[in-house]
Amino acid sequence: MKGSRSPGWPVLVILLVLGGIAGGWLGQALTHIWPSLAVLDNARSLGIPNFTLDLEVFTVSFGFMLKISGFTLIGFVLAYLIYRKM
């Protein structure tokens, strides 16, 4: 008898990233069609701003910024629901 096995966290991360991107794109397209949906397209930035360390021999840059809007959250939820169905 085979047990139910989930695909794992790497698949969840990939689906969440793709869901967030798709939600952002869909949000931009929908706000052009229906400007009243612009309320859901207001994005908030969360993360670490660009940081550069210049040591003359080499330069290291690091930064991570996540822009979350209502459409992005909808994409995250749909991606999670797809993951749960797998």
Q: pLDDT class for 22, splitting at 50, 70, 90? A: very high
pLDDT in tens, 24-49: 899 889 989 988 888 888 888 889 88
Over residues 79-84, the mean pLDDT reads: 94
The token duo for 42 is: 């207001």
Please state, in angstroms and rounded to a whole number, the distance separating the CA atoms of residues 32 and 75.
Answer: 18
Give the model confidence (pLDDT) of 50-69 as tens digits. 999 999 899 999 999 888 89
Q: Could you give the C-alpha distances from 1 to 4, 62, 85, in angstroms and in order?
A: 10, 48, 20
Residue 8, judged by CB atoms within 10 A of its CB (0-12, 13-18, 19+), counts as exposed
Q: For position 2, what pLDDT does the model report? A: 53
Query: Cα 67 from chain centroid?
Result: 8
The predicted structure's pLDDT at residue 43: 84
